[in-house]
Structure formats: structure tokens, C-alpha cells
Structure 1
């Protein structure tokens, strides 16, 4: 392995790139429900748009994961951020045309799928594998790696908080305002990476990064747990805006603000977990998974009961804390078991697993919500309970070290 002691790792810069990409994504989330109704798209069409993005994540994550080792981190991030910026700028234009009635129906739906789904989805697929492979490459012990992975998760939580606040606040100036702000945020990330991030020396690159099978006995228990966790999350993430509007009887204008509060609670929970609890706990990945999944399962149970705005926000906060504790265990655990030339492939496999959960879950949850608002919440809670039982009982997670 090359000597990395002479050059200080740029983990904060890579983590900042993750933050800016997710900030752009999370700024859109509070307004996606009212936006869909404003432009005349059905709930299932928004679910299909998000599912299209997930399909692109599944299709491209392993490619990006291996390229981050063969091309280097900077070229991958520059390409990804450039595509994301262009896609979301055009998405803002399409949404604006939809709001004026210039583009409607099938044409508008197709534009949403191609830009927010295919374009942005393929771009965002590159960012987490790049960050995870980089952290795995520059950290040698489990504690440092867990802290690094939790930093990636923590900035996602911060982005959820900041994006919720920004999306809700900017929506007060009109639904188009946050849509214009998103490509600006992504452009800042593109310029930062292009100017500041170092390219690796050629000898640090891996010419032929190894593939990692999803059935590899070192990885599959973690992948199964992650798949279940993110599927459960996917069943409630898209419908949060609809739940808030329908349970509390809010207008479209008010709904753009309150889901922001719900996502703020989820982001605050994730940040508290990954910025405070995980670094201070010293828990190994199996323990993080066991504790986090149990807490998240309790949050889903609370969400199924209509306890008003306070109960809804409390449930989402609990889910955020639980998943925030579990996620570093899921991402860091298998990295301790594979070789350096496998890290990019593993990171891509984790990204593809996460994306796979959002292929079906958003569309299924919006369809089920049309049948009964309680059904997708119950399904998500049942999945979380199964995952909790799995990480408590499987031998891979019953030892302190992964």
C-alpha cells in the first residue's frame, strides 16, 4: 500500500461535496408534494420519478465505485457534479413551464423523469461511493473508519436539516424559488471540487478495481440489513408531505412549510446520532446496527398512530436517530473485511443496494397511500421490525467486531 503519511487526507473536502449534493436534493424534498399538485401530476407520477432516479443509482453505482479507484476521486466528482447541476437547472425550467401551463400532462411527466430521475439520479450515484471508498482507503483502523463514515452520514443529516429549512423558507417566496437555488448550490460544489481537490498520484490508483459480489459472505449480511433499513425509510420518505397535509388538514401553501419541519426532525435526529452518539459511543458496527435498528423500529410504531403534529415530528425524529446510529455500522462494517482493491467495488455495491430500495418503495408507498394512508407506514414498520430481528439474531452481528 502506498505511503499516505506525507499528504494530509482531504476527508473534509470530500465530505463537503457530499453535503452540497444532498443539500440540493433535500431542498427539493419539502416542496415535491405541493409542487406535484401545483403542476397537475398525480402522487404516483412523483413516486415514479423518484423510482427512476433509484434505478439509475442501481445501474451506475458499481461503475462509479470502481471508477473512483481507477480514474481517481476528482474526475468522478467533477463529472457527477456537472451533470447534477445541468439536470437540476433544466428541471427548474421544466417545473416553471408546468406551473404556467406551458407544458402539462405526459410531456411534463417525461421531463420530470428524465431530469430529476435519470439525470440527477445517475449523477448522485457517484458521490457516496466516492466518499466511502476514499475514507476506506485513508483509514486503517475500525474506530477511525466508523468516524469517517459517520461524518458522511452526519453531513447528510445536516443537509436534511438545512435543505428542509431552505426549501420551506424559499417556498414562501414561491415554489419556483427553491428550484432555482438548487443548481446554484450544486455549482458551488462543482467549483470547490474542481479547484481544491487534489488528484491522486498515478501509483495510488487501482488499474483494475475488483468486483464484489452481493452474495459475498463478508458483505451480504450488511447489505441485507441496509436494504431493509432503506426500504423501510423509502416507504415513508415520499409520503411525508401527503401525511402532513392530510392528517393536519393543511392548504397547499402551508404544506410546503410543515413537511420541512418533519424533515428537519429527521435530519436533526441523524445529525445527533452520527455527529454525537456514534463518535462518542465507541461501538463496533454490529452494535451500531443492533441499537439503531431497534430505535428506528420504535419510531415507525409511533408514526402509525395519529398523535397530531407533535407525535408525527417525534416519530420522525426517533426514526432519524435510529437510522443515523445504524448507518455507519452498515457502511463501515464490511469495509474492514475486504482488500484495498475491493473497496471501490464494495462502495458501489452499497450505493446500488441503497438505490435498489428506492426503485420500488416510493412508487409502492404512493400507490398504497392512495388505498389507505396507514398502509405504507405499517409496511415500513414491519420491514424495520424484520431488520431488527435479523441484526439481533444473525451470527455476523452477534460478535463485537465485524
Structure 2
């Protein structure tokens, strides 16, 4: 009688989770977005668009995030992550190639006025907004699928925020430095970054076995008692951020009296400070602290409020950079609490819908805030910063006072958090 043949280890163990690869996808698409941030203000003035028109463009992208995030999140569970991410990166790449061409035509005077504005909205707003809406929900739903305890879940969600912070730094450096060679140069770099992300997904990301897919992922209501306090806190944080994010370039240019080329470089440095704060929070503080999601929201909310308060005052470049650093640090600490907290309270079938809902909630904050921020800035420069500070103060009080944030999230009776 012969001994049974040993089963190869590859057949008895599940493949290693591909969290780093999903994080790389988030990194590259946000790197493409953040590379545009240092130049969007000077670019708008070079092509003759008003501040409010750039605000409308960014708000349109946010509308598309709101409208499509739940769709993308549920499709990530029913179709699989790979086909959804491939579609998103193809759309993003095409949109940004056409946007670079449009910007060149705008700077040369070939397209101006209303036509230029509408094409900005169509490409940067509708096209790229729809594409970027797919990536964070995919990554967050995947992390929720492969992590089963609070510590691992928070660490994984912090990873999503950390790569966004890295993208903020990388995009600030790329956009700021390349703008020294002309505003069109960073616009050419963006599609290259997106093509790299597309290649990574096509050649490296595994498709899930059919039996792991969920044919009818559940919708999650924003009024669900398990999740609405987290959504409200996140909505407030990102609304406050939305009031100042788009006008950062204008703040830098007007407070420091810079020309267009120098504005791109210094705005990149300012956004770099925010990215440093975010990475410090999510790569160092969050993983080592062991704090629960409610604690992360409370600590981060207070720090971010302090940053907003400092930003109100026009007291020179040092305090400007300190304020932006504190905002990045505070939001970097709070974000994993916002994204991980509700995932511990819902079932596996709800994770894709929840991830989409989180993305939609974040996107909703940028529907009104950028347009309102740029419009208020035109009335009185400190006004949007004061509004953002007031909103952040309300958030800090809410997460300190609401009963949901006085205890660690735990599954209510009858609801499984195993993934």
C-alpha cells in the first residue's frame, strides 16, 4: 500500500491577499489627480476661466462620484475587482489625454469662453470624476473582505488614506516641479501615470473565483442607524476640506504675491505639507496607536479644527504651511475611523454597498463646497476659510458628544462582521 501523494501547498492554501496592489491602484489614480492640483489655479487664469468655473468643474466631478460610487462598489462584488478597475482606468486615461489637449488649445487661444468651460466640465468633471469614483470603493470593499478584526481593518483602511497622502506629496512634487517647464507639462504626465496603473491591474491583479462573487450585493441606506453617525462625521470633515482645497492655489498666490509659475511651485509645497501630515498620521500614528475608530475621529477632529483655525489668519508663509500640515495630520488620523468604523457593523454582502456609500458621502461634500468656496473667495478671501473652520468645529463637537463615538464599534446582535 503506497503512501498518499502530498498535496502541493499552493493547492491547500489560499492566495495571499493583494491589498498592496489595490493600494497601488489607489495611489496611481490619486497621483494623477493630485498632480493637477498645484496648477489648476494658474491654469484657469492662463486660459481665461473664472474661479467659480473651476469650482463648478470640481463640483461636477464630485456629482459623478456621488452618482456612481454605490454602483462601482456593488459591481466590485458582483463582477469582481479587476474588470471594474480596468474600465475605470481606461476611462480616466482617455479623459486626461483629451483634457491635456484641451488645456493646450485653451492656452493657445484656439478654444475659449463657454466652449472651453463646458469641455473642462465634460472631461475633468464628468469623465475623470466617474473614473476615480470606482477605485476607493473597490479597495475598501476588498480590505473589508480579507480582514476579520478591528485592528486589521483599521490598519487596512489607514493604508488607503496613507497612499492618498503619498499621492498628495508625489502629486505636489510632480505638479509643482513640472510646472516650472510650463503648465502643459504636468498635464502630459497625468495620462502616463494612469497608463502605469492600467498596466499594473491588467497584468498583476487576479480575478476572484466565481464562487467568491456576490450576485446581488446589498444596498446600504445612508440613514441606517449603524452607519449614519460615521457618514455625518465624514461628510462634515470633507465639506470643511472642500471649502479650502480648491482655493489653496489662490490663497498662496494672493497672500504671498506670486506669479503663475511660482504659484504652481509654492502650492505644490503647501500640498506637500498636507501630504506629510496625512502620511505621518496613517503610516505611523494610526497603526501604532491601536486607537478604535471613534477615538481616531475624536483626536483627528480636534487637530484638524486647530489647523483650520490657524489658516484663518494671514500671518505669512510659515503659519500658512503649519496650518495646512495640521489639517492633513488631523484628517489623516480621523479618516480611518470614518472608513473602518461602519465596516465593523455590517455583513459581507453589504460591504460593497457601504464602500460605495462612503465614497458617495465623500463626493457629496465636493458638490457644493468647491463652488461655494471659490464664490465666497471672490467676495472676501478669508470667508471660505472661516466657513470651513466653523464646520470643522461642529464635527469636533459631534464626535466628542455623540454616544456612538463613546464606544468601539461592535456588531449588533444578529449582524456578522466576519468576512
Q: If the TM-score is normalised by the length of the shorter chain, which range does it land in?
A: over 0.9
Q: Which residue of 1 aligns with 2:323?
A: 315
- Contact 2:295/2:405 (8 A) holds in 1: yes
Corresponding residue of 1:72: 80
Change over 3 Å in CA distance of 1:301–1:4 after alignment to 2: farther
2:162 paired with 1:154? yes
Q: What's the CA shift string for 1:139-189, capped at 9, x where partnerless?
A: 000100100000010000000001000001000111000000000100000
CA distance in 2, matches of 1:8, 1:285: 26
1:354 offset after TM fit, Å? Answer: 0.4
Partner of 1:399: 407
Instruction: Tell me the distance in 2 between the aligned counterparts of 1:271 and 1:398.
Output: 26
Q: Of the candidates 229, 254, 258, which is equivalent to residue 246 of structure 1?
A: 254
Q: SS at 1:92's partner residue?
A: helix
1:165 aligns with 2:163: no
- Within a 5 Å distance, the mapping from 1:245-324 to structure 2 comes to 245-324=253-332
Cα shift readout 1:266-304 (whole Å, capped 9, x = no counterpart): 001000000000000000000000000000000000000
Which of 91, 94, 104 is residue 96 of structure 1 equivalent to?
Answer: 104
Match of 2:213 among 180, 186, 205: 205
Equivalent residues of 2:230, 2:341 under 8 A apart: yes
1:2-401, aligned counterparts within 5 Å? 6-401=14-409
- For 2:13 and 2:129, locate their aligned partners in 1 and report how far apart those are by CA, in whole Å: 35
Tell me the CA shift for residue 5 of structure 1: 5.5
User: Does structure 1 conserve the Cα–Cα contact (< 8 Å) formed by 2:311 and 2:319?
Assistant: yes
Verify the 8 A CA contact 2:344 2:409 in the aligned structure 1: no
SS at structure 2 position matched to 1:257: helix
- How far is 1:400 from its partner? 3.4
Misfit runs of 4+, over 2 Å: none
> What is the CA–CA distance in structure 1 between the aligned matches of 2:336 and 2:91, rounded to whole Å?
28
| Structure 1 residue 252, shift from structure 2 partner | 1.4
| Structure-1 residue corresponding to 2:4 | none
Q: 1:4 Cα shift?
A: 11
> Quick one: distance in 1 between partners of 2:330 and 2:339?
15
User: Unpaired runs of 5+ in structure 2?
Assistant: 1-10, 411-419
Change (3 A) 1:303 1:50: same
Superposition TM-score, scaled by structure 1 size: 0.99
Contact 1:24 1:182 in 2 (8 A): yes
- Give the 3 Å change call, closer, same or farther, for CA 179–79 of structure 1 in structure 2: same
1:102-133: CA deviation from partner (whole Å, max 9, x where unpaired):
00111110110000000000000000000000
Q: Contact 2:342/2:409 (CA < 8 Å) preserved in 1?
A: no
Distance across 2 between alignment mates of 1:190 and 1:385:
40
Whole-angstrom CA distance in 2 between matches of 1:95 and 1:64: 29
SS in 1 for 2:181: coil
What's the secondary structure of 2:224's corresponding residue? coil
Deviates more, 1:245-254 or 1:294-303: 245-254
SS in 2 for 1:172: helix
Q: Contact between 2:23 and 2:160, CA under 8 Å: does it hold in 1?
A: yes
Q: Give RMSD over aligned pairs.
A: 1.0
Check the 8 A contact 1:4/1:138 in 2, yes or no: no
